Chains A and B, each alone.
Chain A
Amino acid sequence: NAGVTQTPKFRVLKTGQSMTLLCAQDMNHEYMYWYRQDPGMGLRLIHYSVGEGTTAKGEVPDGYNVSRLKKQNFLLGLESAAPSQTSVYFCASSPSGAGSEAFFGQGTRLTVV
């Protein structure tokens, strides 16, 4: 049972380049989340999804887009990377949201130069 898998684990981008981060979960969870973590800032919610085909904005959505075409996958896109998007990105999934344990991937360390 793999749980939550994030791809890639590390990436260096040049300013203006685009990329897609993939999150895959094999637990049939309904809820999926993308967070970014910066020193001293905790985990900030970028976008989230409460089910297949649905997405919604979190606390810091600007500069990012997401898609949830399949229940098991949640993609995070950066159309034109900026140095301010240098961060560690975590994906999480949970069965039903309230009270249920959220399972996290191992993170993607992204540097934009």
Chain B
Amino acid sequence: GQSLEQPSEVTAVEGAIVQINCTYQTSGFYGLSWYQQHDGGAPTFLSYNALDGLEETGRFSSFLSRSDSYGYLLLQELQMKDSASYFCAGFSGNTGKLIFGQGTTLQVKP
């Protein structure tokens, strides 16, 4: 089957750095994506890693290690507005499925 595992909750203080991990099992894996969702609104795309290594987009970075079936999202200089749920997602090239992890709720405290 296909599955992605991530921690359910993470808490950090404003200005700090936080890492959200994701381990996966996806047949025909094509890469790992990350999405942000505020208060049950529409999820929005943050980043995508097709190859091993680090991708940086402003305060957010995402990492992928295919050999370890592992990735993470790194958020730097945390702001209160970063309080949200974060989802990793894996695309299967064999089937066309886009499968999400259960999500990590990030709470940023002053």
Contact = CB atoms under 8 A, between A and B. Distances in A.
Contacts of A97: 30, 91, 93, 96, 98
Contact of A58 (B30, B50, B97): B97
Nearest to A44: B100
Interface string A65-102: 00000000000000000000000101010100111111
B12 interface: no
A50 interface: yes
Contacts, number: 73
Contact of A42 (B41, B42, B103): B103
A50 B96 contact: yes
Tier of interface size on chain B: 20 to 34
B71 interface: no
B47 to A, nearest CB: 10
Interface residues of A, number: 30
Given A106-B42, A107-B40, A40 B8 contact: yes
Contacts of B93: 97-98
Contacts of A104: 42-44
Contacts of B91: 97-99
Interface of B: 8, 30-31, 33, 35, 40-45, 48, 50, 87, 89, 91, 93, 95-103
Given A42-B102, A59-B99, 5 more contacts: A31-B96, A45-B97, A92-B43, A98-B30, A99-B30
